[in-house]
Structure 1
Amino acid sequence: MPGYVEDRWWTKRPDPATGKKRKTALYGKGKRYKVTGIPGVRARSFDAKGDADKWKARAQAQSLAGEFVDPRAGKVLLREYVESDWWPALTADPATLETIRGRVWTHVLPHLGELPIREIKVATLRIWLKTLEGKIGPGTANAVWAYLSNILECAVDDEKITRNPCKAKTISPPKVPERKARAWSRQQVAAVQAALPERFRIMVDLGVGAGLRQGEVLGLSVDDIDFQAGFLRVRRQVKKVGGALIFALPKGGKTRSVPLPGYLARQLKAHLGAFPPRDSTLPWGDPAIPETERQAKERAPQTHRLVVTSTRGHVIRRDSWNLRSWKPALAAAGVINDGAVVVRPHRTRPGGRKVLQFESSREHGFHSLRHTFASVQLDARESIVSVSNWLGHANPSITLRIYAHMMPEADGRGRAAMDLWFEGNPKKISPDSPSGPIGLAPGDLDDIPVEVSVAPQRTPTLAKASR
């Protein structure tokens, strides 16, 4: 097998005159034994012959298997690797990249950035994880952990380290507590809607009547409404990237059509009559200045007649609208507590600026209207595939995971079906079903006590959701 250990201090061949080895020009300088000659493996020196032999054997085996990783490559600092290798190659939509950058540069690099990648061990991650969980919520901590794991996995692929310590068996990412989607009652929906300014009340109708996300409501155009066919076409959303608003495809890059109920159609016509749509122009996909002709074409501004605009006819900024309209409406309806006046620093006001601050209401966000839409559809026993398509989920399994607890109970019908099967009543069961229990004769089950309870009948309601 190729590879050998070279003594850097003494010549390989003895002096012909004396028969003894001679000192080389490197005698006494640096490490004495150098392992070299292994294909694809950079030479490495050691002080002791035994260490050189052990490393040579391991390097030869790894080289033969195509798995050799030079440990010296792991000397690069985590910050350097992220900035020079990982981040420049990362691809995602601008809003996602902004989120990732904020979390990595805030929660990963300040703690681990000055460590060489090869020195990031499981013990190091345990301490970092404990610090992380003390500062941020489990959901954010779980996402930050995933970003670090991806960085280290890329370092493995780039042959900087041999394994990803995030995948060790003795450590695991923070667990995200299960949060079941909760729908609102008809009374809650009506109360919140009534507390909103009149021009924004249609947003509630679109959320609860068509299951649109907030950004999709803000990006809905008059041209997306087909009153005659009875459909809404969800083709864009309004997003904020680095402080700038853009038009973009709906979440997941997936457009869809949603049935337009008669009530919602009437509400839309009334809203458009009271608040005529306004043309709004925004860049598409990315607010950054294009660097190529292709980018210029892809990011070309688009103009749409939006159904909902601000009082001045501008595109609505979600964060401002939530603070100034949505949360006050939630407080007025008794969904959250009243806001408190706080003073925040302001660059032009020496004494600061007084603002109304509300409690965190993640579970009572605009998404609650979407949950209510799903609740109504599932309670009416609408197909899970249809509901998934209307919500714009990638596949029905996602819909089931989020809304399974909202689906009507099926155990009562299942027990009744089994009773009919045991009775062998051909008029009440499918002709393809076996005519009776195999291997049992009539009367064989008479002595076995059976306790049966039948689930009460349910009628569709606007919102039935439990935690």
Structure 2
Amino acid sequence: MHGASEIAVDDEAIKKNPAKGRAAKVPAEKGGRTVAWSDDVVLRIVEGHAPEYRPIASVGAACGLRQGELWTDDKHIRARTYDELVWKPALFYAGVIAAPKTDRRGRRQYVSSRENGMHALRHYFASITLADGVNIKELAEYLGHSIPGFTLRLYTHMLPSSHERARKAVDSRLSRLFSLKSHVAVTEQAVVRSPTASWEPDDGLDTDQPQISL
């Protein structure tokens, strides 16, 4: 909206950009940062499943699939049944949620939240792939996001620091440049050097000038 209005102003279609008015406010982000489970928690959750159901949690964590992509409700398993009788007990086993209470009919009642649903396995998948170098564009494809920008907004805080990788990339690509005698550090000696001094492109500084090593 803001960008389109700016173009309209430039084209003199409108006098002012309405998106710049006091009444126009950028919507606040809903919720906080997405938090991913650790490897140990995910392993404990898988262990908390009965053997016949472990592939569900394992594939969810390894592929980042949505619950609806893992299976569809049929006579073998239904989402609500799985959630109450398999998933939540596994969360309790892993220490993610508290012990259940028992209602009047003797049924176990677990207190959980949306953050602890199966969707959390997708967040775990995103966290481990980003940590090992998968880029946002590829992750968006794996997760089925049509817009990589959405993936970036969701997981940008999980991206590992690349300062050291950037330094190594520059060093490895420009090592030949750094080794040339003509490459000098920006020091006071280099700054005061006469701009009219002769320069030897193949062998660095003129021999009459003081040499500066890196």
TM more than 0.5:
yes
Q: CA deviation at 1:367?
A: 1.5
Correspondence 1:375 to 2:127: yes
Kindly state the Cα deviation for residue 354 of structure 1 after the two structures are TM-superposed: 3.9
**Offset of 1:213 from its aligned partner?**
0.9
CA distance in 2, matches of 1:371, 1:428: 42
Quick one: structure 1 residues 211 and 436, their matched pair in 2 at CA, closer, same or farther if it must change by over 3 Å?
Answer: farther
* TM-score, structure 1 as length reference: 0.32
| 2:176 counterpart residue number | 427
Counterpart mapping for 1:204-353 below 5 A: 204-218=57-71, 238=72, 314-343=75-104, 353=105
Change (3 A) 1:360 1:407: same
Asked if residue 385 in structure 1 is aligned to residue 137 in structure 2, the reply is: yes
**Match of residue 176 from structure 1:** 30
* Residue number in structure 1 paired with 2:15: none
In the alignment, the residues of structure 2 paired with residue 209 and residue 326 of structure 1 have an alpha-carbon distance, to the nearest angstrom, of 17
Contact 2:88 2:112 in 1 (8 A): no
> Would the aligned equivalents of 2:184 and 2:190 in 1 still touch at CA under 8 Å?
no
Superposition pairs of residues 2-401 of structure 1, within 5 angstroms: 169=23, 176-178=30-32, 180-218=33-71, 238=72, 314-343=75-104, 353-401=105-153
For residues 83-117 of structure 1, the C-alpha deviation after alignment (integer angstroms, 9 at most, x for no partner) is xxxxxxxxxxxxxxxxxxxxxxxxxxxxxxxxxxx
Report the alpha carbon displacement of residue 170 of structure 1 after superposing the two structures with TM: 8.8
SS at match of 1:394: coil
Q: What is the RMSD computed on CA atoms of the aligned residues? A: 3.5
Change (3 A) 1:417 1:444: farther
| Separation of aligned partners in 2, 1:407 and 1:381 | 9
Q: Which residue of 2 aligns with 1:287?
A: none
How many corresponding residue pairs? 168
Q: Distance in 2 between matches of 1:193 and 1:323?
A: 15
Query: What is the CA distance between 1:315 and its match in structure 2?
Result: 4.4
Q: Distance in 1 between matches of 2:56 and 2:64?
A: 11
Cα displacement (A) at 1:185: 2.3
Question: Structure 1: how far apart are the matches of 2:152 and 2:184?
Answer: 33
Distance 1:213 1:321 in 2: 14
With over 3 angstroms needed to count, the CA separation of the structure-2 counterparts of 1:362 and 1:428, relative to structure 1, is farther
SS at match of 1:427: helix
Deviation at 1:338, TM superposition (A): 0.6
Paired amino acid for 1:333: A
Q: CA deviation at 1:381?
A: 0.6
Going from structure 1 to structure 2, the CA distance change for 1:408 and 1:318 (only over 3 Å counts) comes to same
What is the CA-CA distance between 1:320 and the residue it aligns to? Answer: 2.3
Unpaired segments ≥5 residues, structure 1: 1-167, 219-237, 239-244, 246-279, 281-313, 344-352, 430-434, 446-467
Matches of 1:202 and 1:190, distance apart in 2: 12
State the alpha-carbon separation in 1 of the partners of residues 189 and 138 from structure 2. 44
By how many angstroms is 1:206 displaced? 0.7
What SS does the corresponding residue of 1:338 show, helix, strand or coil?
Answer: coil
The corresponding residue for 2:10 is: none
Q: In the aligned structure 2, how far is the partner of 1:320 from the partner of 1:356?
A: 13
Task: Assess, with a 3 A threshold, how the Cα gap between structure 1 residues 436 and 396 changes in structure 2: closer, same or farther.
Answer: farther
Secondary structure, aligned partner of 1:399 = helix
The one-letter amino acid of 1:359's match is: V
Q: Offset at 1:443?
A: 3.9
Q: Return the letter of the residue paired with 1:322.
A: D
Alignment-mate amino acid for residue 320 of structure 1: T
Equivalent pair of 2:98/2:110 in contact (CA under 8 Å): yes
Structure 1 pair 400–202 and aligned structure 2 pair: CA distance change class (3 A): same
Kindly indicate whether the alpha-carbon contact (under 8 Å) linking 2:48 and 2:90 is maintained by their aligned counterparts in 1. Answer: yes
Cα 1:417–1:201 shift into 2, 3 Å: closer
Higher RCO (CA-CA < 8 Å; seq separation 6+): 2
Indicate how the Cα distance of structure 1 residues 442 and 363 shifts in structure 2: closer, same or farther if over 3 A, else same.
Answer: farther
Give percent identity, aligned residues only.
33
| Structure whose CA Rg is larger | 1
Letter of the 1:390 counterpart? Y
The Cα shift of 1:385 comes to: 1.7
